Structure 1
C-alpha cells in the first residue's frame, strides 16, 4: 500500500492530499529514510511523521484499504 494512502486510512493524517504534500516536503520517513508519496509500506515498517516541532513514530501492524474510525487505531502502534 502507498504511504500516503496508509496515513489517510489510519487517520494519522486527515486527508490524502496533505499526506502527499508531507511526503513531498520530506517530512515522512519509513525506517529512517525520507520517502516519496508513492513508496510502499509493509507490515512491520516504522513510519515517522514530522509535524512542526514534534514527530509521531508508529509501527505498522496491518494494512487495509478502508477502515471505520474506531478500527483505525488497530492498524498501527505508537512507539
Structure 2
C-alpha cells in the first residue's frame, strides 16, 4: 500500500493530502530512509514521523484497505 494512503487509513494522519505533504517535505522515514508519498509499505516496516522537534516511531503490524476507526489502532504499534 502507498505510504500516504496507509497513514490515512491507519489514522496516524487524518487526511491523505496532509500525509502527502509530510512525505514531500521529507518528514517521514520508512526504515530509516526518506520516503515519498508513493513509497510502498508492508508489514514490519518502521515509520518515523517528524512533527516540529518531536519524532514518533511506529511499527506497521497490518495493512488493510478499509478499517473502522476503533480498529485503526491495531494496524500499528508506537515504539517511541
Fold match (TM-score > 0.5): yes
Class of the TM-score when normalised by the shorter of the 2 chains: over 0.9
Aligned ranges 1:25-44 → 2 under 5 Å: 25-44=25-44
CA distance in structure 2 between the aligned counterparts of 1:55 and 1:38, rounded to whole angstroms: 21
Measured after TM superposition, the shift of residue 42 of structure 1 is 0.6
Counterpart for residue 50 of structure 2: 50
Q: CA RMSD, aligned part only?
A: 0.5
Moved over 4 A (4+): none
What is the TM-score normalised by the length of structure 1?
0.98
Task: Work out the number of aligned pairs and report it.
Answer: 79
CA distance in 2, matches of 1:54, 1:60: 20
5+ residue gaps, structure 1, are none
d(CA) in 2 for partners of 1:54, 1:66: 29
**Gap regions ≥5 residues in structure 2:** none
| Secondary structure of 1:20 counterpart | helix
Whole-Å Cα distance in 2 between the matches of residues 73 and 56 of structure 1? 15
